[in-house]
Amino acid sequence: MAALARGLSRGMALADARAICPDLATRPADLAAEAAALASLRRWAARYAPMVGTDGPDGLIADISGVPHLFGGEADLRDDLQARLERAGLTAVSAIAGTRGAAHALARHGGGIVPDGHLGDGIGSLPITALRVDQETAEALSRVGLSRIADLIPLPRAPLARRFGTGLVLRLDQALGAQSEPVAATAEPPHFGVRMTLPEPIGLQSDVMAGLARLLDRLCHKLALHNMGARRLRLDLRRVDRGTTQVEIGLARPMRDPMRIAALFTKGVDEVDAGFGIDALRLSAPITEPLAPEQVGSHISLHLSEQRGGGPALRHEDALADLLSSLGNRIGFDRVLRLLPADSLIPERSFLLAPAAYSSAEPMPPRGGPNRPITLFPPEPVTEASGHPPRRFRWRRMRFTTHSAKGPERITPDWWLDDPAWRSGLRDYWRIETEQGPRLWLFVTPQDAAGQNWYVQGEFA
Amino acid sequence: MLKDGSGKRLAPAVGDAFALRPARVHEATGRGRRAFALFQAARHPGPLIWVLPAYLPELPMPWGLPKGVSARLHLLRPAGETDLLWCVEEALRAAPTGLVIAEPQQPLSLLAGRRLQLAAEAGRTTGLMLIRQDAGSNATETRWACEPQASPASDSTLHHWSLNKNKQGTLGHWVLNWDGASTAFHMVSETGERYQPAEPPL
């Protein structure tokens, strides 16, 4: 507002704005954050009307038919809205009109209220750009001397449509109410959270688990309705003294089976300090993923449950996912890993350690060439190496004598990646069988300026 | 125990000499213990769990593992010894795992060994602890000492595996040729006997 008063306007070049107002504070636009703020404002605005939708990147539109008398009239409603927004620190312009187009036009040109039946008078003095027509049409109209909406209203429609397109006529009709334009409220994304308040505080672990089981039933039913599965679940426990404790679990794959999820909560609930008692529980699923309905009860599950002497019939992969969940919840999901092939010839980068919860198994593609060792470790230099390949050497305080050597296999570094470990240039890999038994993977760096050194990087079966 | 007429003990049949008794925890020691673990991993169907401490520099290299093992392998890298034992117990107790391999860095106490045996029985899962020298527990079902051996021929990879402790059977030691790519192996006779004549009779 202060900027508008100093003569700045929207869409102005930054250099011009700086010239007018040298001490201007500028910030790059964060469109995502703005959209999120508008979405939360839209949720709040639902207190004024059942149907609230966004109107462009910077506006909200609400259908307040039948609502104003609850606030004591349209003027009181608008004052209430403005006062609350002002208290929240937001500068906003609002308008109430009989049609969506008129309200849109008026809100962007000063705001106000258009009484019923006076739409033409109310918005007639506004410029034509307020009608949501494109810049070209507005310019063409101003060239023939039509600059305000009131100039358009008495004109015959047919020539207007023929000359400037039907879009202009449609917008005009929408603003004047000849053409209906409903307010479509944006569909709310489903909220996966359930709560429960208790008449008497509880403190026993079994009671909390029983309450959790009821919440889980409701939450999982809701997840099933939307074909979703939870990846993280958070249980907030409110104590009588208003303190809250949280129990959070992660799941190795999306899931909505109450029994199996409850089992994962057992350990966390065990550690909760109940204080003088817990009188409210809240269960939410902050992270969810799509989970298609599955057929339950295959013959594997029957077989398993027979083998285990009854119990819940779990499918094989489900049981493995449960195991990975419980392991991940204790040692961290980044420590439960899977080996995945990677597209590189460099031994260290030829495979990936991916979290098992967020990846699926892939078989190794077939490869030719020399065998690879079964274990790989960062290169360790050998000492007292003599010969090429070394006839005898020391490694890890052990003496080795070469029995046979197979090689070399030359591996060149990726020139497009600057890997500090590969600064010594290309490597010649040898498979060295020692008299002492171990079969080692040694390499030498022929391009190393510091001299040719031998390193051990792996051990064969 | 099988006995022939003279009362001498017979060595168990060669084919299943290396089969680990199911639903028990076994131990392997020596320099070739990882090779032994992979040999067993290739022979056990189902998901595999390998627990090794996060600070250990050695990692299994998927391109060098026996066929089909790397896709089934789950690597757990807990931070400490307590977490490691907890992971092993949890994995043994879960039904779907085929084989649980772990590399504890400290000597296994009798208590820990017994707990692992109970977990293996509860989950009907086989476990294999790759222990350091003399760091095993007495509760183990079998203990194998595995050493790679230099081979005279260039295309053979010999392993010397000896069974040092066996709760329900005989001890023994074998030299075999296993190339680390599949479940197939060849027994190498200690005395160098051939199973068939050197030249086919004319």
The answer as to whether A139 is a domain residue is: yes
Four-point Cα dihedral A134, A140, A145, A149, nearest 10: -20
Q: At which residue do the structure tokens 């490869």 appear?
A: A367
Q: B70 and A335 in contact by Cβ < 8 A?
A: no
Q: A319 and B96 in contact by Cβ < 8 A?
A: yes
Measured in whole angstroms, how far is the alpha carbon of residue A419 from the centre of its chain? 32
Helix (H, G, I), strand (E, B) or coil at A268: helix
Residue A296 pLDDT > 70: no
Instruction: Give me the residues of B, 85-124, that contact A with CB < 8 A.
Output: 86-87, 90-91, 94-97, 124
- A205 and A284 in a single domain? The answer is yes
Contact call for residues A130 and A109 (beta carbons, < 8 A): yes
Q: A241, A257, A290 — which closes off a domain?
A: A290
pLDDT value at residue A299: 42
Q: At which residue do the structure tokens 């002497």 appear?
A: A309
- A235 or A447, greater pLDDT: A235
Measure the CA–CA gap between A87 and A95, rounded to whole angstroms.
19
The model's confidence at residue B74, banded by pLDDT at 50, 70 and 90, is: very high
Contact call for residues B121 and B93 (beta carbons, < 8 A): no
Contact call for residues A192 and A219 (beta carbons, < 8 A): yes
Which residue, among A112, A93, A122, A104, has the nearest Cα to A54 in the 3D structure? A104
A35-39, A86-90, A283-287, A298-302: lowest mean pLDDT where?
Answer: A298-302
Instruction: Give me the residues of A, 243-262, that contact B with CB < 8 A.
Output: none
**Mean local confidence (pLDDT), A244-256:** 88
Q: B63 and A308 in contact by Cβ < 8 A?
A: no
pLDDT value at residue A1: 62
pLDDT in tens, A42-51: 989 989 988 8
Q: A264, A290, A316 — which closes off a domain?
A: A290
ipTM of the complex in this document: 0.83
Measure the CA–CA gap between B119 and A448, rounded to whole angstroms.
52
The answer as to whether A103 is a domain residue is: yes
pLDDT in tens, A397-408: 999 999 999 889
pLDDT value at residue A295: 65
Our count of domains for chain A comes to 3
pLDDT value at residue A155: 85
Q: How many CB atoms lie within 10 A of CB A43?
A: 12
Residue A300 pLDDT > 70: no
Contact call for residues B29 and B108 (beta carbons, < 8 A): no
Q: Does any CB of chain A come closer than 8 Å to the CB of residue B81? A: no
Q: B157 and A460 in contact by Cβ < 8 A?
A: yes
Closest chain B residue to A337, measured at CA: B75
pLDDT in tens, B21-64: 999 999 999 999 999 999 999 999 889 999 999 999 999 999 99
Which runs of E-coded beta strand occur in A87-139?
A: 95-96, 112-113
Q: Does any CB of chain A come closer than 8 Å to the CB of residue B76? A: yes
Q: Does any CB of chain B come closer than 8 Å to the CB of residue A372? A: yes
Contacts of A264 in chain B (CB under 8 A): none
Contact call for residues A122 and A114 (beta carbons, < 8 A): yes
Q: Which residues contact A313 (CB under 8 A, 6 or more apart)?
A: A296, A297, A301, A302, A304, A305
Both tokens assigned to A444? 């030498």
Which residue, among A50, A3, A57, has the nearest Cα to A26 in the 3D structure? A3
Helix (H, G, I), strand (E, B) or coil at A397: coil
The answer as to whether A346 is a domain residue is: no
- A197 and A171 in a single domain? The answer is no
- A203 and A68 in a single domain? The answer is no
Helix (H, G, I), strand (E, B) or coil at A45: helix
pLDDT in tens, A173-218: 888 888 888 888 777 788 899 999 999 999 899 999 999 999 999 9
Task: Give CA separation, A77 vs A47, A61, A81, A116, B43, in Å.
Answer: 11, 14, 6, 16, 76
Closest chain A residue to B76, measured at CA: A336
pLDDT in tens, A75-126: 999 999 999 999 999 888 999 998 888 899 899 888 888 888 888 888 888 8
Closest chain B residue to A437, measured at CA: B149
pLDDT value at residue A166: 86
Percentage of the residues of chain A whose pLDDT score is greater than 90:
36
The answer as to whether A299 is a domain residue is: no
In this structure, what DSSP letter does residue B106 have? S
Both tokens assigned to B201? 């009779």
Task: Give CA separation, A202 vs A77, A196, A199, A257, in Å.
Answer: 44, 12, 9, 25
Residue A234, domain CATH: 3.30.1490.100
Contacts of B160 in chain A (CB under 8 A): 437
- A295 or A59, greater pLDDT: A59
The model's confidence at residue B201, banded by pLDDT at 50, 70 and 90, is: low
pLDDT in tens, B75-88: 999 999 999 999 99
pLDDT value at residue B124: 92
Measure the CA–CA gap between A176 and A122, rounded to whole angstroms.
10
Closest chain B residue to A343, measured at CA: B63
- A171 and A199 in a single domain? The answer is no
Instruction: Give me the residues of A, 264-323, that contact B with CB < 8 A.
Output: 304, 307-308, 314, 316-317, 319-320, 322-323
pLDDT value at residue B189: 60
- Cis before B53 (ω within 30): no
The answer as to whether A382 is a domain residue is: yes
The DSSP line for B128-194 is EEE--TT---TT-SEEEEEEEE--SSTT--EEEEEEEEETTS--EEEEEE--SSSS--EEE-TT---
Cα distance from A216 to chain B (closest Cα, Å)? 24
Cβ-Cβ pairs closer than 8 A, A with B, add up to 149
pLDDT value at residue B194: 54
Contacts of A372 in chain B (CB under 8 A): 61, 63-64
Residue B2 pLDDT > 90: no
The answer as to whether A428 is a domain residue is: yes
Q: Which of B64, B86, B148 sits opposite A438 (nearest CB)?
A: B148
Q: A461 and B76 in contact by Cβ < 8 A?
A: no
Q: B61 and A363 in contact by Cβ < 8 A?
A: no
Q: B150 and A319 in contact by Cβ < 8 A?
A: no
* Owning domain of residue A276: 193-290
Helix (H, G, I), strand (E, B) or coil at B76: strand
Residue A304 pLDDT > 60: no
- A155 and A216 in a single domain? The answer is no
Q: A372 and B78 in contact by Cβ < 8 A?
A: no
Cα distance from A64 to chain B (closest Cα, Å)? 58
- Fold classification of B25-144 (topology level): Rossmann fold (3.40.50)
The model's confidence at residue A233, banded by pLDDT at 50, 70 and 90, is: very high
Helix (H, G, I), strand (E, B) or coil at A430: strand
E strand or H helix at A202: strand A193-202
E strand or H helix at A425: none
- Cis before A201 (ω within 30): no
Contact call for residues A93 and A111 (beta carbons, < 8 A): yes
Q: A231, A257, A290 — which closes off a domain?
A: A290
Q: Which of B79, B124, B157 sits opposite A439 (nearest CB)?
A: B157
Q: Does any CB of chain A come closer than 8 Å to the CB of residue B177? A: no
pLDDT in tens, B139-196: 999 999 999 998 887 778 899 999 999 998 888 888 889 988 888 888 876 655 555 5
Instruction: Give me the residues of A, 388-417, that contact B with CB < 8 A.
Output: 403-404, 406
Cα distance from B13 to chain A (closest Cα, Å)? 24
Closest chain A residue to B158, measured at CA: A437
Q: Which residues contact B173 (CB under 8 A, 6 or more apart)?
A: B160, B161, B162, B163
Measure the CA–CA gap between A118 and A222, rounded to whole angstroms.
48
Instruction: Give me the residues of B, 129-148, that contact A with CB < 8 A.
Output: 147-148
Closest chain B residue to A457, measured at CA: B58
The model's confidence at residue B113, banded by pLDDT at 50, 70 and 90, is: very high
- A232 and A157 in a single domain? The answer is no
Q: B61 and A373 in contact by Cβ < 8 A?
A: yes
pLDDT in tens, A427-440: 999 999 999 989 99
- A171 and A260 in a single domain? The answer is no
Q: Which of B61, B74, B87 sits opposite A374 (nearest CB)?
A: B61
pLDDT in tens, A339-375: 999 988 899 999 999 998 888 888 888 888 888 999 9
